[in-house]
Amino acid sequence: MKTAVFTSTISPSLLAWVASESKRTKRTRRSVLEEALKRYQHEMIRARMRADFARENTAETLEMAEWGMKEYSEDLARYD
C-alpha cells in the first residue's frame, strides 16, 4: 500500500493516549492512528447509510440496511 505524509496538530492529551495505546499494544503510533481513522471512516459510512435508509422509515427497509451495512463493513475489512 502506498502511503502519504501529512502534518497535523493534535492535543497533548490525545497524543499521550496514542503513545500509551501504541506501547500497550506493541504497535506504532502510525498504526494506532490509522486504525482509529479507519474505524471513524467506517462509522461515518454506517451513519450515513442509516440516515439514508431511515428516511424510508419502514422496518423492512431498516432491517435490510442493517444487514447491508454489516456486509459492506466486512467487505471493506477484506480490502484494508
Tell me the C-alpha to C-alpha distance, in Å, between residue 53 and each of 30, 38, 62: 34, 23, 6
Domain boundaries, the chain: 35-80
- Show the cell assigned to 61: 427497509
Q: In this predicted structure, what is the pLDDT of residue 57? A: 67
Q: In this predicted structure, what is the pLDDT of residue 59? A: 73
The total of other beta-carbon atoms located within 10 Å of residue 35's CB is 14
Q: In this predicted structure, what is the pLDDT of residue 6? A: 87
Instruction: Yes or no: say if 28 and 36 are a contact pair by the CB < 8 Å rule.
Output: no
CA torsion sign for 17, 13, 36, 10 is negative
Tens digit of each residue's pLDDT (9 = 90 or more) over 24-79: 999 999 999 999 999 999 999 888 877 876 777 677 766 766 777 777 777 777 76
Q: In this predicted structure, what is the pLDDT of residue 34? A: 94
pLDDT at 80 over 70: no
